[in-house]
Amino acid sequence: MTLTERTANVAVWAIAAATVIFLLTPLVVAIVVSFGSSNLFTLPPPGWSMRWYQRLMNVRGLSSSLIVSAQIAAVATLVSMLIGGMAATALARGRFAGREAIAAFLTSPLMLPGLVLGIAFLQAFRYAGLRDVWLSLALAHVVITIPYIARTLYSALTLFDFSLIDAARTLGCSAPQAVTRVLIPNLAPAFLTSGIFAFLASMDNYAVSIFFTNAWTKTLPIQMLNLVEEQPDPTIAAISSLLIGLVLLLLLLCERMVGLRKIAEM
Amino acid sequence: MKLRFDPVLLLALPAAIYMVIVFAIPVVVLVARGFMGADGFTLSNYSSFLSEPFNWVVIGNTLRVAFWTTVVCLALGYPTAVALARSKGAVQVAMLIAIILPLSVGVVVKTFAWQIVLRRDGIVAAILVATGVWDEPKLLLFTEHGLVMGAANVFLPFMILPIYSVLKLADPNLQDAAATLGAPPVFRFFNVALPLAMPGIVGGVSIVFSLATSMYVIPSLLIGDRFQTLATLTGRAFLLMRNEALGATTATILLFLAVAIVACSALLSRGKGDSR
């Protein structure tokens, strides 16, 4: 190796290490602050305590917003998996013109600014006379989750060898059996990861939800945004740490089932 | 091949119909209404928006912050993607967790943490003082530097992952082949490594730039109301000012920016494919 190459190599690894530290900084800060005894966000904290976790129960509207978010995310993810999964099957199996165009259409909400989607939904739902907050959120969140499902399942289905199903049929499986015993186990990892990322995208969404929440029905990101703006104290760090823990668990599940490398390459 | 009707196509109908009704029509109506006046087609909404000097400041703010965020993401993201593609085993898993975990944690959580990091007694100020860049600790929160730092932190994974997925497909022997044929390192970087990574770089840059032009929570929490971007102005117009005409105009400009970015990146990556 020449000197230039060695220098370049050292620089690449130094920047990569700095980037890893940079990326993890906000998560570590939130966790450390949540266990600190001071309410002034001093780093490092003067002492340790669990008081912010004990306070979580008393924060008004927090648990109800968590329930709303989880419900909306679950409903949106399930509906997207059903209709998105059917669409992905059609696109991967069918021989018709414009397949790529339909696939691009189904993933296009990802390319548009979230606020623009929110405003378009707001005006359309108002025009249609839809006033129910919960239903508005659910309808809008299906649009947010469909791209994740359609994209991942479409690419998984195009890689799946469908002659395996014919083989199962020849060996005596009925058509539904062939699907449940061959197709579904093979695609389970793709279903799982696309479902988890769709669910997290819905749980994390603020740009669309902000136009539909009111004083009584709020999603978790909106409730947290209000808390950060009104009374910032380490209680928010405690919620954040719990969410980080939840995401870490889900990612470990993905790593077990699929492997993180596959997820990174999706 | 003759195209016949394929019954499998019917499976795509529910999703397609849902997306046309709930997503496509509302977006088209939003754009169309911006060009509708009392008597038919008009550009007056946009001409009056653009004749206001303040709104040019807003557009300038949006593009400048998005530009610097993209620059920081590319400067950190490209070397990280290279390192990730070269790494193996436990190091690679650790790097992947460091990239995917923040990606999956909410924006509000990360931005809240950046409020703490960017304080006068925060970590960044402490590092800058310790390394002698600053003489005394200063406030980074509510400054453009702080905003770019926080935004780059949130969007970095969207730069690293597309570049990584292209690099991992590139044949590592190409570099060695170029070296064997006598190409010096700098020449190899510009004529072998960079062109190979180009599709990933174009993808990452366009994603980060469009995310950064339309971010709302990050500027609201890190820089505040004095500094408006197209996205924060859109949000304020609808949520605080109740000026829906203004909000619809800024939203449509954001939409055009997003479409322009996608079109440019598609053109760039297609141009690459033709020249091969």
B96 touches chain A (CB under 8 A): yes
B163 touches chain A (CB under 8 A): no
Highest mean pLDDT among A53-62, A76-85, A211-220, B30-39: A76-85
B157 touches chain A (CB under 8 A): yes
Residues of A in contact with B104 (CB under 8 A): 197, 200, 247, 250-251
Please give the C-alpha separations between residue B206 and each of A168, B162, B211, B258, in angstroms, as whole numbers.
44, 11, 8, 9
**CB contact (8 A) between residue A119 and residue B247:** yes
Q: Which residues, other chains included, contact B183 with Cβ-Cβ below 8 Å and sequence gap of 6+?
A: B191, B192
Q: Is the pLDDT of residue B274 over 50?
A: no
The DSSP letter of residue B189 is: I
Q: Which residues, other chains included, contact A223 with Cβ-Cβ below 8 Å and sequence gap of 6+?
A: A61, A62, A65
> Which of A86, A115, A139 lies nearest to residue B214, judging by beta carbons?
A115
Interface of A with B in 243-262 (CB under 8 A): 243-244, 247-248, 250-251, 255, 260-261
Reported as a single tens digit per residue, the pLDDT across A68-97 is 999 999 999 999 999 999 999 898 888 777
The band of A210, judged by pLDDT with boundaries at 50, 70 and 90, is: very high
Reported as a single tens digit per residue, the pLDDT across B154-200 is 999 999 999 998 888 877 777 778 878 878 878 888 888 888 889 89
| The token pair that represents B10 in the structure block | 């019917």
Q: Which residues, other chains included, contact B48 with Cβ-Cβ below 8 Å and sequence gap of 6+?
A: none
Give the whole-angstrom CA distance, residue A64 versus residue A222.
Answer: 12
Q: Is the pLDDT of residue A39 over 90?
A: no
Instruction: Find out whether B76 and A22 touch, Cβ atoms under 8 Å.
Output: yes
- Total CB pairs under 8 A between chain A and B: 267
Residue B158: its pLDDT value, please? 94
Length of chain A: 266
Average pLDDT over residues A1-17: 88
> Which of B94, B107, B117 lies nearest to residue A204, judging by beta carbons?
B107
Instruction: Find out whether B166 and B83 touch, Cβ atoms under 8 Å.
Output: no
Please give the C-alpha separations between residue A197 and each of A87, A144, A151, B104, in angstroms, as whole numbers.
18, 11, 11, 8
Torsion angle in degrees (nearest 10) through CA of A97, A103, A106, A110: -140
The band of B3, judged by pLDDT with boundaries at 50, 70 and 90, is: low
B186 touches chain A (CB under 8 A): yes
**CB contact (8 A) between residue B216 and residue A115:** yes
pTM score: 0.89
The band of A1, judged by pLDDT with boundaries at 50, 70 and 90, is: low
Reported as a single tens digit per residue, the pLDDT across B7-18 is 788 888 999 999
Q: Which residues, other chains included, contact B54 with Cβ-Cβ below 8 Å and sequence gap of 6+?
A: none
